[in-house]
Amino acid sequence: MNTAVGFHSSIRSFRLFLQVQGLRPHTGDYYCREVERLARRFPEREPDSISQSQLHEYFLEQTETLSAKAVRESQLALRRFFRFLASEGEVRQDPTRDMKLMAFQVSPQPTYSETEVKKLLMVCDTKTREGLRDAAMVVVLFDTGVREGELVSMDLPDWERRKVMVSGKTGVKQFC
C-alpha cells in the first residue's frame, strides 16, 4: 500500500470500523480506496494536518477528470473517514464538517414500451436453460425494477410459488 505514513494505520482502523458498522465489503473497499487516493495526493501529510482548503482544492482537481456524481461519492467517503477520525480523537477538527456536497442531476432511465419488452422476450429461446434464464431476467427487470447487481445475484426462481430471491445493496429481496 502506497499511502502516507499517518494514513496507513488510520485506513486499517477505518476499514475495521466500516465492517463493524455493517457496510457491504464493496462499499468499505471503495471508501478506503478514496482515502488512499487522498493520501497519495498529500504524501507528506498526516490526516490531522489536512485542511478544509486542501480538501476543496483536491475536489476541484477531481472535477477535471471525474463526473459530479463521482466527486460527490468521493466527498461522502472522505467525510465518513474524517468523522470517524474525529470520533476516535485522531483529528482535532473534522475538515469536512461544513463542506457542501457536489450537486449532480440524475439522468432519467429510458423507458420501454410493452411492445419492446415483448420483442425482447421473443428472442429468448425458452427451450434452453440460457434462454429460460434470459427470459426470467427480462421479466424480473421489468416487473420489479431491481438494480443490476441484484439481478446478477438472482437465484433460480421458485416456479411453484412464483418467487424470485435477489440480494444486493439493501439486503435480500423476494419478489412474487
pLDDT digits (tens, 9 = 90+) for 38-61: 999 988 888 888 999 999 999 999
Integer Cα distance of 81 and 102 in angstroms: 17
Backbone dihedral region for residue 162 (phi beyond 0: left; psi -120 to 50: alpha; all else: beta): left
Q: Is the pLDDT of residue 153 over 80?
A: no
Start and end residues for every CATH 1.10.150 domain found in the chain: 5-87
Predicted confidence band at 85 (pLDDT cuts at 50, 70, 90)? very high
Residue 173: which H helix or E strand, with range? strand 171-175
**Band of residue 169 on the pLDDT scale cut at 50, 70, 90:** low
Cβ atoms of 123 and 131 closer than 8 Å:
no
Single pTM value for the model: 0.66
* pLDDT tens per residue, range 5-14: 568 889 999 9
Q: Among 116-120, 141-145, 153-157, which is the least confidently predicted range?
A: 153-157
CATH of 5-87, one of 1.10.3470, 2.60.120, 1.20.120, 1.10.150: 1.10.150
- Does the pLDDT of residue 163 top 80, yes or no? no
